[in-house]
Structure 1
Amino acid sequence: MSKLTNHEIREHDIDWYCLVNQKPVHIASMGGMIPRSFRDRAKLRELQRKVAEMKPFTEAILNYDTVNRLITTGYEYLENGDIRQNIVRINENDPGFMYLRDEELAIRLFASSFVERARRGFYSFVRDENSVKEEYLLIASPREPINYTERELPLVSYVHDRRQRELEFKF
């Protein structure tokens, strides 16, 4: 059983899934800590594959307050018209990007993958890179959460491991 290394976890944005308060959750780690019980490479890849193969079945609800706060910097390059056009052209087949077609471009770029997880029934979180703690912020919610037992998704409840920092989810 191959486990993710601390180096891999710190250097990559890894999507992982679990239950938090019995709610199905997607987490974009953004180089943040992943609990030991979720580091099994084969189980992680299998769950990522199953979620990727799922068809969206519900509407996504964007957490505008959080999204707008997170996109205040880093998107200045979008002011260039040629860059804007190319980004739209490159992403025209991305389902999350197109789902958000009426939103401003920075929101579409930032939130498209979170919206796609929410459309598959997951509460979708991102690590708050400005937090000293391991805080995760809700980006998008499903109108209807997935029935993970019916879909045979092996989601496990997140339980704090005292040997690691506790993760905090802001629903």
Structure 2
Amino acid sequence: MTASPAAALFIPALDAQARITPHTPYTSLTLPADRQYGWRMAQLGGLPEATYYHPDAVLHVHGKGLAQRLPVNPVAWTLASAWRGAQLPYLLVGPALITGTENRHDGSFAALPAPLAAQTQNAIAAATAWWRDNHLHLPLWPFSLDSAAFAPAITATRNAL
């Protein structure tokens, strides 16, 4: 997939029935200038929760995704782990949305800077490729997040950043 500038990136969750990562690893979206909360809510299918794993980007997920048993998102987990520099000890579930940092502490977010968007698109593609090539690890993954078997996914993703 060719990297191109994006104001926001959308990472779909695991296909719950096929148990594979979607064929399209991400979608570039236009971040609206106002009413972002409702827009983020619509993209994620519920209450958005924002977390910083990177100083210039925010990863948004469904705030009640685990309670609602949304499908896991190994690609978003791998990207967040790569940004953090260590495997996350918890799941990321449901679709994920990546934007730039918060504006003026008013609940609106900046567009993802173009160079970071391009790097992030490459990293998402690398994480997706690893999970597609190693789909046999998926049954183990939600139960053994600290397994060394997933370190190569994070390394491949970090190398693409």
Q: Please tell me the TM-score bracket, short chain as reference.
A: under 0.3
Larger radius of gyration: 1
TM-score, normalised relative to structure 1: 0.26
TM-score, normalised relative to structure 2: 0.27
